[in-house]
Amino acid sequence: MVDELGKFYEERAHEKFPTSDNPENDAVNRRALKALELQPGQRLLDFGCSDGYFTSRLAQACPGLEAYGVDLVSHAHWRKLPSITFVAGDFPIPFPDGYFDAVFSSQVLEHLPDPALAISELSRVVKRGGRMWIATPNSYDDTWSVFHGLQHYIDKVEFHFRHFSAQELRLMFATYGCEVVNVNYDLFAGLWLYYKMVSYNPRLKKRLLKVVAPEIAAGSCRAGTSSAPNAGSSIPKTIAFAVLRALRKFDEMFSKSPLCQVIEVTVIKK
């Protein structure tokens, strides 16, 4: 199964556009920073770091942070980020017990055939009092049924094994001496439209990128970095980002509603 997953994600990495700055990623970064309460000198693990975009942003937001990224497959650009250590590999996570002060993991647990093993490993490598911020697809039982069609499609495209409820996450983390201290939700109707109409509409997405972010569409913007210096000045990009911010602002009114598509939990190791 590991070999099959590795092959799938190697191919998926080549299909995807590099992660870049946009209002949606800004919001993820902001919420994670608030939850993790990072301090200079601490060690951070980005579990399932993909192309290292969020590893880099979190490290840049807290100078002096010692950041590590772990993913099942390696990404060619990792060597371009000398201030961060990236490791490719399977379980066990190649770090000693209690090594990290904080763990960030966004949209990862759903990709794993054994999420309990991942949670046990995260709980092992974080120190007592350490904080974790975990985001993953919300349970189908809780999510508004209107969203189920898109969710099933994303599950198939991204090779998701399952979704999680707040109660399931509380119980899974509690098994390994951790406590879920805060639960929030994300992606309601506004961003459902965005993901349905743009993110998971390959043809439209490619056309829009040629106008909004040609440096990414052309492949000249490396994964894990910000957009090219002059890219943010374009009028189409300004308009597109303004629309995305408005959709996000609307959805944030539902951050405590389990009808949303994503669940985010803050966890502390006891």
- What's the pTM value of the predicted model, to 2 decimals? 0.89
| Residue 117 pLDDT exceeds 70 | yes
If one compares 14 and 61, the residue with the highest pLDDT of the two is 61
If one compares 4 and 173, the residue with the highest pLDDT of the two is 173
Cα distance between residue 169 and residue 147, in whole Å: 21
pLDDT band at 6 (very low <50, low <70, confident <90, very high): low
pLDDT tens string 125-183: 999 999 999 999 999 999 999 999 999 999 999 999 999 999 999 999 999 999 999 99
Q: Which of 221, 240, 186 is nearest to 23 (CA)?
A: 240
Q: What is the dihedral of CA 261, 103, 128, 269, to 10 degrees?
A: 10
Neighbours of 135 (CB within 10 A): 24
Judge contact between 19 and 44, C-beta under 8 A: no
pLDDT above 70 covers what percent of the chain? 83
